[in-house]
Structure 1
Amino acid sequence: MTRGSAVTYLLEQRRAWFAKISATATGDIETESHELQLLDRLILDVRAGRVHTFELTHPKALAIFVTG
């Protein structure tokens, strides 16, 4: 996957995660916030070219290899 596609994919995952948090009033806010912070950091690292491989486990397990 190209770097731009990987960043776009991660942004879509972030939007979906944020929508899920907003839709459910119950849940552990601290855990949800931590997950969003990790995703934000991953987006920045992929965009900057510091990360070339990563794996997401939610909503399903997926390994991504960034090229170019």
Structure 2
Amino acid sequence: MQTIVGIAADEVEAMAEAARDAINLRLSLLPEDGGAGFWTAVSKYYGGGFAEIAAGLCPPVSRGTGAADEGVV
């Protein structure tokens, strides 16, 4: 069996499954559908869409207009 950084591949899958189960348990404790979009966000992030997710979650940050900010792009 191949190893990845000294961990057998089947051990990696077992740890990943345990982590998913633990996450799903915690999500199930949220009120109503509080965790409904979690796995969608995870799949978008790992699919390369993190910038899109972050843009939707965080408003743009504007820089000040003081003298210290001159020349800052």
Q: What interval of TM-score do these two structures reach, taking the shorter chain for normalisation?
A: 0.3 to 0.5
TM-score, length basis structure 1: 0.44
TM-score, length basis structure 2: 0.41
Identify the structure with bigger relative contact order (alpha carbons < 8 Å, sequence gap 6+).
Answer: 1
